Amino acid sequence: MMGASAVSTVLSGARVVLPTGTVENGRVIVAGDRIAGSAPEDAPVVDLSGHWVVPGFVDMHNHGGGGASFTSGTPEEVLRGVRTHREHGTTTLVASTVTGDLDELARRAALLAELVQQGDLAGVHFEGPFISPCRKGAHKEDLLRDPDPAEVRKLIDAAHGTARMVTLATELPGGLDSVRLLAEHGVIAAIGHTDASYEQTVEAIDAGATVATHLFNAMPTLNHRTPGPIAALLEDERITVELINDGTHLHPATVELAFHHKGPERVALITDAMDAAGFGDGTYHLGPLEVEVKEGVARLVEGGSIAGSTLTLDTAFRRSVTIDRLPVESVVQAISANPARLLGLYDRVGSLEPGKYADLVVLDAEFGLKGVMRRGEWVVDPRA
């Protein structure tokens, strides 16, 4: 916690989004690395009139950025990707892997775990190899495997307590037992890259699954006679659904459908970003697969499947408010508070409340990013 001698700064005049609603002409007091309840009379003031101040974004599904891969990069490259996303408002980030050899994934988890322990990452998410070959997306098919609980346990053990989520096709042999194992160890079991029926999805939820990995993508479409996983995931209040709101993965009407059925408290906006996020078009690799990025859309060179995104969460925020016409308060829930709660971090991040880290984003009147603060330090200074 902050000490009595922590230097205070007052951010004043903005529309400040709090858990209780938006405060006009509000202020946020920063003391050291925390949000404070009061400030000395002589504390410096930063005038943010005409702006919004919202909590720092929390991305629970992200494979890289800034030209760097969380799946294969060196620690220095991973940190470059983290910095890229911080400059776009993501002050808390979970590193996601993609399908690979099990021993290789275990080594990768150990490397990422060190960065979690240093405070640079918020945890590790394993997306694959325990997914359906029918819905593999940008995952190498010959490396996929059924979710054997012993192998799932090997990966979470390799992360040394930093594993936060594992995406599974829960209909595969061992799927339900793996969900139960993850629940017992406090790791999120996420249903995704799945070919499950409605009934199989309900079974997985009853077994302890709590998240839908990028809802609508890499799963059967909603059908009036065979509703499949989407209906089960939308209707159950125990499930939080991830959405990739980049304009490529989902139509605006689909985003609206998810918010309407789940409510803003059961949606988590994610990037599912790969190396090209914040970097540009070109040829990249997602795990062992070659990816070509054109006009910001990432697709596999072989087969043309969408291969993650080049999204950053400031763009997702702006789209959600200006294109999808969602209330700012609902978007803040989905992009900050909800993922923070799921990750067990809401006592530290996810809202602007005294005692929490001073992680915040400053947006202009058109919801363009103007400033980012993390742990009380400006990453992007709105005064520059």
Q: Where are the alpha helices (DSSP H) in the chain?
A: 75-86, 102-117, 149-158, 175-184, 198-207, 228-235, 252-262, 313-322, 328-332, 338-342
3-state secondary structure of 255: helix
Residue 214 burial (10 A CB sphere; 0-12, 13-18, 19+): buried
CB 183 within 8 A of CB 211: no
Distances (CA, A) of 21 to 15, 69, 87: 10, 37, 26
12 contacts: CB under 8 Å, gap ≥ 6: 27, 45, 46, 47, 48, 49
Strand partners, 93: 59
CB 56 within 8 A of CB 373: yes
Per the listing, tokens 């992200």 go with 62
Whether the link from the prior residue into 220 is cis, omega within 30° of 0, is no
Which residues are known catalytic residues?
272
